[in-house]
Amino acid sequence: MVYFTEIQPTDHYLEEHEKDVPWDKVVEIIFTTKNPKKKGDKFEIEKDGYYILFEIKNNILYVINAKKL
């Protein structure tokens, strides 16, 4: 379980990935996943044909990458 108080997209997500995976889908996947996999200092989710990479800094979840698998 990861804890955060806010979700923000990174510039990389907005520029490269938002057109493929809309923000509302990213938020839905994050909130419906109980145990994301830890990958170094970041976390990843593979669910329902999507891949999400994010990190948490200062209680803010930053979405780095979102792709359709």
Q: Coil, strand, or helix at residue 49?
A: coil
Q: Coil, strand, or helix at residue 65?
A: strand
In this prediction, the residues of the chain whose per-residue pLDDT falls under 50 are none
Give the position of tokens 């994301």: 36
Q: What integer pLDDT is reported at residue 1 of this predicted model? A: 64
Q: What integer pLDDT is reported at residue 3 of this predicted model? A: 85
Q: What integer pLDDT is reported at residue 38 of this predicted model? A: 95
Which domains are assigned to the chain?
6-68 (3.30.2310.20)
Q: What integer pLDDT is reported at residue 50 of this predicted model? A: 97
